[in-house]
Structure formats: structure tokens, C-alpha cells
Structure 1
Amino acid sequence: MTIKVGVMDSGVGGLTILKAITGAMPSAEILYFADQKYAPYGNLTAPEIAERLVRIGEYFLQQGCHAMVVACNTATVVSIHHLRSSIQIPVVGVEPAVKPACSYTRKKSVSVLSTPVTAASSRLNDLINAWRQDADVEILSSATLAFLIDHMPTSQVEVNLEVQRICAQVLDHRSDTLVLACTHYPLVRAYFEQYLGEAVSILEPSVGVAAQVVRVTSYNEANNLLVSQAENSGLMVQSNGNQAQLEALSHWLEELGLAAQVKSQVI
């Protein structure tokens, strides 16, 4: 049996998770859906996010998916429990890498960068309280960075300026570890590395999420034979966004070396 996994995000950020999953599960079928019509999720209420997740989950079920990945920190912290009670397949969310960061830091100083919704969530604050030990953990947030990344490459100058602003705060805090707690942010990891240098380690969750998907699907490469390339490429990418959003999605697919065309899909 070929395993099929549905991966969703409000935009392009989930592509970092998608890339890790394709690496861990090379013969699985992956359906990526970008809910760009409703992006950014930070502008939606919790009930609105829950409604979108359930609707997309139902679509994944119709498409024969064996598991669903919510590749969005905001959606995970706000509505993943509601989603899990609403659909009958395993659901994997995204958890900020707070635990490894607090174990890894040598200076006992960690910065966590998230969207404003995630920054204010009890889920993130509970994670920090559970794992901080004696580390000083600073929560930083950006109201614009995820949105700007969704509009790359036209927003490249603005992205650069926003990353500079954030990195100045990380350095002021004297952090030696930065947690990227939004799946969009690893797409511009090189920008952070440019301004922070080797003194600050950067952690993000994509490998851990991929490992969890392997576990919940009981994926086994030897028993998961990919259908022929003539029938299915193994990776499908869909979006309900406008033309500019579709072009941005295509841009990041190319940047990440993910071979797939973006197709419009109304959900």
C-alpha cells in the first residue's frame, strides 16, 4: 500500500515541513494544500481557523490521505485539538523546538521567534515553563515576517529589514540559541545566519515533524511502493490563492528543489 499524507499551511511556510517529509518518506504520496485565500491565519479568529482546518481535513480524507500534517504553528496552537476530534485520521502538528533549545543553550539564554498569535498562546508559554530549567527564554514576535515571506521574491528588501530588526533583539538578549517558531521562518534562515553569525544556533522543527509522520503512518520504505511516475509524480501542490500567491508558492518550490506544479483548488 502506498502511504498518502496531506500537508497544509496558510501559505508557503509549510514547504519546509514538506521538504523534510519527502526526504524521510521518499516513496509516499504527498498532497500539499496552501490555504492562501485565508492567509495570514493570524488575522483569523480561533473558530475561523478551526473551521478551515476541518474543511481541509475533510478534503484530505476525500483524497485518500492516511494522515494530516498541520504545518503551521498558529493553527496548531489555536485549533489542533478541535481538528483531532473532528476527523478520523492521525493529525500531526508543529511544536516549537523549545525543549531542545533549553537543553542546548550554553549561555542559558534562548530567543523564541513566533507570530503574535503563537507568542500569546498558552501552548507556547506552557512549553517554555516546562522545559526552561534555568534558561532565560525571551519570546519575540513579528506581525509581518510570515506575510512578507509569502510574497517573496518581490518582498525581499522588506524581509531583509525585518530580519535585521529581529536579529538585533536576539543579540541584545545575548541569546546563543534562536528557535524559529513559525514554519515560514526557516525559508529565510540564511538571512538570520548572515546577521547572527556562528555564535547563535538556529533550531526549527521540520525533521522532528517528519519523524512523527513516519511513526503515525507506520511508514516502511520496503512496503510502500510508489506508483509509476507516469501515473503520479508522488507530490501534488494545490492552492486556493490568487495569481500572485500562486507565483510566490511556485518560487519557493523551486528554491527548495521540490518538483511540482501548483494547481488551483477551491476548498
Structure 2
Amino acid sequence: MKLDYDWKNADLPIGALDSGLGGLSVLREMRRLLPHENLIFAGDCGKAPWGDRTDAWITARTEKIVRFLASRKIKALVVACNTATAAAVDTLRQELPFPIIGIEPAVKPAVALSRDGIVGVLATTRTIHSPRLQSLIRRFAGNDRVILMACPGLMDRVEAGDFHSEETRRLIESYVGPLLEQGIDTLVLGCTHYPFLADEIRRAAGEGIAIIDPSPAVARFLKKRLEENSLLSDRSDEGRVEFWCTGRADVHTRVLRRLWPGEVAMKPLDQAWPELLRD
């Protein structure tokens, strides 16, 4: 993938992508830490979830979305999706010169925080079975137990804007309950969609369980990489944010407005970048 512009320009925006709307939890932390940066978010809502796709499909799809973001002349990229990070981030780093930040389940900080050495991880099925997560556990768990829980359907609740229904609560309880029975004292949110369900997850887990969202750490690492490359914006005004999605932009705008303040709207990504209409 070749760039037709000079990415070493601090005035350029930062791109972020996800398989759906979950990456907005990362974008929220980026906005909080870097309020003067311009941000462009692209969510593949029309093809979500990606959890039942092959690594090859996920990588190809991610590359298409990155080509769109690169056409907007970005200076850095945040892959705000555990599934896409596991499948595609190494390939992207080989192809592109600007800083690329991925997201992974926060196994290392969870192990450090755990009192009893029993950590639970909520994630998509694809992330649970990824070699990347297994590598994290081997490197950082030591003698601690890391119990993995695949959560089919949880991402879909967020995509539908269904954060607090009885059905959502029952689904969360069905995943958190077995982890509690095995004695966890720390719970990792291993999908960027899950922070939007944090209130219900905390309700199911109870106040004694530490819950770790890796999004703030991703934002901090992004800032560090921008500083290292002299790419931090020196603007004093508030940065702009663009939101793009595949699928029904009007439908996803309604969910977006529940997740992001202000009069925001999704732009139709597959119309702006027709290659996304093809798998």
C-alpha cells in the first residue's frame, strides 16, 4: 500500500477503524487525551460482526478501510478492534510507514492487579482463539489463571443500541456468572464494544471485581508515538471528528448519538469508497 502524500505533517488527522461501533470507546479516550487532534473514524457496521470471518477476509477488509482512511491523508492509525488487531496489524505495519496502534486484551495489567491470581477475559470468539491472545497469556500470566469467555451476541447488542434491556442483562449474566463461579477477582473487557456495556457488566460482576478497559492505555500509547514522531498537533482549538460507516448510515447515526455527545452523524462509507461494497 503506497501513500501519495507526506504523512509527517502534524496538522493531518488520526484515523481509527473498527468492525462496527465499538471502536468509539477507544475514540472517546483519544478525544479526551488529545482534544486538539482531528479524528476520522470508520466502522464496518454493514459487515459486522467480523468474529465468524477468516483471518484472510479480516485482513483484506481492514486493508480496504485503511486505504479509505489513507485517502483522507492521515498521520497515524488506531486499529480500535481486537479482532482486526489480531488478524491484520502486523501486515499493516509492514505496508505503511506511519504509527499504527492496535488493541489487545489487557492481560498484563490484569495479572498485575489481581489479588488472587484468577483473571477473566470477555471477548469475541475470534479473539479468544487468536494466537495473539494465547501469546499474551504465555508471556504475562505466569502462575496466574486466565479464564477466557467467548461472548457471542454481546457485540450485536451494542450495534443495535441495546445497552440495558433485560435480554442484554441476561446475556451478560450468562457470560460473567461462570467466571465468578471460578473465583475471578479481575475482569478484562476484551472487545471495544464492551465498555459501552460496562454498567451492566459491573452490575453482573459486583463491586468487588476489578474491571479493566484497555482503551485509555491505547490513547496514552498513541500520544507517546505521536510525540516520538513530532506529530502532536499544536492547534489550540478543538479538533474535528468525522464518522463514517458501511451499511445504513441513518440507522447507525441513531446509535452514534447515544454514544457520542453533540449533533453528530455517520457518513456513508461504502458510497464514498465503493470497493467496500465487494467482499
TM-score (norm 1): 0.91
- Residue number in structure 2 paired with 1:241: 247
- Residue number in structure 2 paired with 1:252: 259
* Residue 79 of structure 1: how far off its partner (Å): 1.4
| Alignment check: 8 A CA contact 1:149 1:155 kept | no
Residues 51-79 of structure 1: CA distance to partner in whole angstroms, max 9, x if unpaired?
Answer: 11111111111111101111000111111
Q: % of aligned pairs identical?
A: 28
| Alignment check: 8 A CA contact 2:37 2:233 kept | no
* Residue 199 of structure 1: how far off its partner (Å): 1.0
* Residue 196 of structure 1: how far off its partner (Å): 1.5
Residues 66-108 of structure 1: CA distance to partner in whole angstroms, max 9, x if unpaired?
Answer: 0111100011111111122223322110011100111110011
* Cα gap change, 1:223 to 1:263, in 2 (>3 Å): closer
| Alignment check: 8 A CA contact 1:97 1:179 kept | yes
Aligned residue runs from structure 1 range 37-186, under 5 A: 37-153=46-162, 156-186=165-195
What SS does the aligned partner of 2:264 have?
A: coil
* Residue 154 of structure 1: how far off its partner (Å): 8.1
- Residue number in structure 2 paired with 1:28: 37
TM-score (norm 2): 0.87
* Cα gap change, 1:44 to 1:81, in 2 (>3 Å): same
* Cα gap change, 1:217 to 1:235, in 2 (>3 Å): same
* Cα gap change, 1:237 to 1:194, in 2 (>3 Å): same
* Cα gap change, 1:226 to 1:265, in 2 (>3 Å): farther
Residues paired across the two proteins, number: 260
Q: Which runs of 5+ in 2 are unaligned?
A: 1-9, 274-279
CA distance in 2, matches of 1:45, 1:258: 37
CA distance in 1, matches of 2:113, 2:163: 36
CA distance in 1, matches of 2:256, 2:93: 27
* Cα gap change, 1:164 to 1:118, in 2 (>3 Å): same
Residues 207-265 of structure 1: CA distance to partner in whole angstroms, max 9, x if unpaired?
Answer: 110011112222889852156x7xxx611111112243343233322xxx365322222
CA distance in 1, matches of 2:67, 2:190: 27
CA distance in 2, matches of 1:140, 1:258: 35
CA distance in 1, matches of 2:114, 2:196: 23
CA distance in 2, matches of 1:116, 1:71: 17
CA distance in 2, matches of 1:155, 1:80: 33
- Residue number in structure 2 paired with 1:212: 221
